[in-house]
Amino acid sequence: MLRRNRQFEELIGEVRAGRVDRREFLKRAAAIGLSASTIGLALRAEAALAQEGSPAAAGAGETITSITTEEYLKNVREAFPFEEPQNQGGQVILGDSTDISTVNAMLAGDSPTFDVILGTVYETLYGSSVINGQPVPSGLANFWEIAPDGVTYTFHLNEDAVWHDGEPVTAEDVVFSFDAALNPETGTTYLTSNEAAIASYKAIDEHTFQLVAKDRLVTFLYDVFVPIMPKHIWENVPPAEWATDPGSIGTDPSRVIGSGPFKFVEWVQGDHVTLTKFDDYYADVPNIQEFIFRVLPDDAAAVQALRTGEVDIVDGVPPAQFEELEAAEGIEAEAYDTFSFTWYAYNLDPEKTTLFQDKEVRQALFYALDREAIVENILLGFGEVAQGTQPILSIAYAPDKLATRYDYNPERAQELLEQAGWVDTDGDGIREKNGQPLRFEAMTSEGAATNEQMIAYMQEAWREIGVDMQPVFVPFPTLLDAINETHDFDMVLLGFGWDPSGNQEAMFACASYEGSFNVMKYCNEQYDALNEQQKREFDQAARINLLIEQSNIINDDLPVGIVAFRQDRTAFSEALHNFFPIGLGLLWSLSYIWVEQS
């Protein structure tokens, strides 16, 4: 692995020096890249290459036409070392300690649901390239055109696409889905970003859909997220009832009808989800017959299930088990950079708690964490201390351009707390202000070993500066309800992942509190003003500078504490072929997997 990584680093140097073009890069990357870790390095190099069909070309005075689905899939096959399937049928089982939250892709808001339901059962109009993160026709649209005005996008649907019950997919389904996505009663977590980007939409004919942006936006195709749902299944269900409908909770499989490569069979909550291949899929029909998602008690149980052959894939392998699995017979283990990070969020709503209103308190808590020790001792080196908000693979990752670094400094943490008026007046070891102790609960999902270790360390580190934090472990659905519905929490420890655009308004824009990921209720008008600029800046270098300036604002205000930019760790059976987990997707190659006969 190390030899291949060195070869990739050399290749990256050639790309940056302009000695290798895109075609040669992909050819050589495929020849070397036999593992997801090396492919992850390729993604860094891809950021330095010119991107064909980039939305940055919108409004250049002529109609811009994307590549087709067929062309994109051809590029993928050239970029990854796929083997010809030697077997058809069989099953793949993914083990995880966290269940999905719904079988309705429109309501997806967590990683397990995205991995298991979106792209398998349901699809969007388009997706992101697994080669470079650019928008590509990897969904229901065969290709699209951007008009000279730079705001009118015309999507041409694949005319062979059908729903799992045999009904044709039409532009009316797309219009219906956009109606639902923009209805606040539906409950999608992408309401805010969709509203901010979309001016209008309509069906042109049975297989043509037109979408108009509110402005020329470099981020437009990233900002719009709408899973396409079958109108004939959902048109008579009031949006407010979607979340509890049998087609969302899985109790009526006849209502879980998508257009993707896999059909829904069943969801036994807390136990498993079963999908079976869709023989009439319009693109690459899966080689395997069945995909199963198994819910296990915790990460340790998931690793043990992989060892015994009860599951074939485990994602998010605890760092302590990674080397053991890497050396285990019959198992592959891959680590790779991602767009993801581990973070904690404050509740900044004074109606819920007044503990975190002072920026000095938030900064003090961050200074008090030895994040180098977290990366080395808890993540065991599978990550990097986060500086700012832009993750390692981001175009705006620039730790050297941040105004403030929060290196471990407990003395500075105590100074900031005292400046903010928090002192220990009664000698019990806990600071108070106006009679209120600096005491709160931090919620995280149960069963995740790394989070449990991290929050235990945070409790200890903060106790040393006079802060009493009590961990609370809850089922993931309970956590989601607390942060998205009731907003009843003090602090929450989570994981999150960005798309490749660099746009982070979903977490930090004022308007993103309801219907998006700003669970903190954070608001900074300067940040919002820069955000409007960066979405309209088509010069990439200038836009990157704006993104860095935004990152500096968040880095100063600290409405969240981003602990580490994560490397993901995936282990899987050697019996799986053509499985390539990377920073841009875990199960993107599911249709290509073939399984050795036992």
pLDDT band, residue 4 (cuts 50/70/90) = very low
Query: Are 556 and 388 spatial neighbours (Cβ–Cβ below 8 Å)?
Result: no
Q: Which residue has the tokens 């080395």?
A: 376
The answer to whether residue 524 scores a pLDDT higher than 70 is yes
pLDDT band, residue 60 (cuts 50/70/90) = low
The answer to whether residue 17 scores a pLDDT higher than 70 is no
Q: 194 Cβ partners below 8 Å, 6+ apart? A: 181, 182, 188, 223, 224, 225, 226
Give the C-alpha separation, 406 to 241, whole Å: 45
Residue range 323-342, pLDDT digits in tens: 899 999 999 999 999 888 99
∠ CA(275), CA(278), CA(283), 5° rounding?
125
Query: Are 301 and 202 spatial neighbours (Cβ–Cβ below 8 Å)?
Result: no
> Concatenated DSSP letters for 495-514?
EEE--TT---HHHHSGGGSS
Burial class (CB in 10 A: 0-12, 13-18, 19+), 529: exposed
Give the C-alpha separation, 407 to 372, whole Å: 8
Residue ranges with strand state E in 13-167: 64-65, 91-96, 127-128, 135-136, 141-146, 152-157
Structural domains of the chain sorted by starting position, each given as residue range(s) with its CATH number in brackets? 1-50 (no CATH), 51-312+575-595 (3.40.190.10), 337-567 (3.10.105.10)
Residue range 241-290, pLDDT digits in tens: 999 999 999 999 999 999 999 999 999 999 999 999 999 999 999 999 99
Q: Which three-class secondary structure string do you get for 197-233?
A: HEEEEEEEECCEEEEEECCCCCCHHHHCCCCECCHHH
Residue range 392-416, pLDDT digits in tens: 889 999 999 999 999 999 999 999 9
pLDDT of residue 62: 86
pLDDT of residue 245: 97
Query: Are 284 and 73 spatial neighbours (Cβ–Cβ below 8 Å)?
Result: yes
Query: Are 289 and 596 spatial neighbours (Cβ–Cβ below 8 Å)?
Result: no
pLDDT of residue 47: 45
Distances from the Cα of 203 to the Cαs of 58, 293, 431, in angstroms?
21, 36, 61
- What number is the average pLDDT over the span 64-68? 95
The answer to whether residue 52 scores a pLDDT higher than 90 is no
pLDDT of residue 123: 97
Could you tell me whether strands 439-445 and 468-474 are parallel, antiparallel, or unpaired per DSSP bridges?
parallel
Which pTM value belongs to this model?
Answer: 0.79
Residue range 152-178, pLDDT digits in tens: 999 999 999 999 999 999 999 999 999
Chain-centroid distance of CA 12 in Å reads 25
CA dihedral 253, 255, 260, 265 (to 10 degrees): 0
Residue 228, φ and ψ in degrees, nearest 5: -90, 120
Give the C-alpha separation, 321 to 326, whole Å: 9
- What number is the average pLDDT over the span 585-590? 94
pLDDT band, residue 29 (cuts 50/70/90) = low
Residue range 295-327, pLDDT digits in tens: 999 888 999 999 999 999 999 898 889 989 999
> Concatenated DSSP letters for 130-197?
TTT--EES-SSEEEEEE-TTSSEEEEEE-TT-B-TTSPBP-HHHHHHHHHHHT-TTT--TTHHHHHHH
Burial class (CB in 10 A: 0-12, 13-18, 19+), 121: buried
pLDDT of residue 22: 46
Of the segments 188-192, 207-211, 513-517, which one has the largest average pLDDT value?
207-211
Which residues share a beta bridge with 497?
340
Residue 212, φ and ψ in degrees, nearest 5: -115, 130
Q: Which residue has the tokens 């339901």?
A: 117
- What number is the average pLDDT over the span 520-534? 97
* Angle, in degrees to the nearest 10, between helices 69-79 and 22-32: 50
Residue range 75-114, pLDDT digits in tens: 999 999 999 999 999 999 999 988 999 999 999 988 899 9
The one-letter amino acid code at 432 reads: E
pLDDT of residue 138: 95
Residue (of 109, 87, 89) closest to 98 by Cα position: 109
pLDDT of residue 583: 87
- What number is the average pLDDT over the span 503-517? 90
Residue (of 540, 184, 563, 582) closest to 396 by Cα position: 540
Residue range 435-482, pLDDT digits in tens: 999 999 999 998 778 889 999 999 999 999 999 999 999 988 899 899
Give the C-alpha separation, 444 to 476, whole Å: 8
Residue 512, φ and ψ in degrees, nearest 5: -95, 10
Provide the token pair at 17: 């020096």
Half-sphere exposure of 476 (CA within 13 A, CB side): 22
Distances from the Cα of 38 to the Cαs of 146, 315, 390, 499, 552, in angstroms?
34, 17, 21, 20, 31
Residue range 540-585, pLDDT digits in tens: 899 999 999 999 999 999 999 999 999 999 999 999 999 999 988 8
Residue ranges with strand state E in 269-398: 272-277, 290-295, 313-315, 331-346, 383-385
Provide the token pair at 206: 């049975």
Residue range 109-159, pLDDT digits in tens: 888 999 999 999 999 999 999 998 899 999 999 999 999 999 999 999 999
pLDDT of residue 597: 83
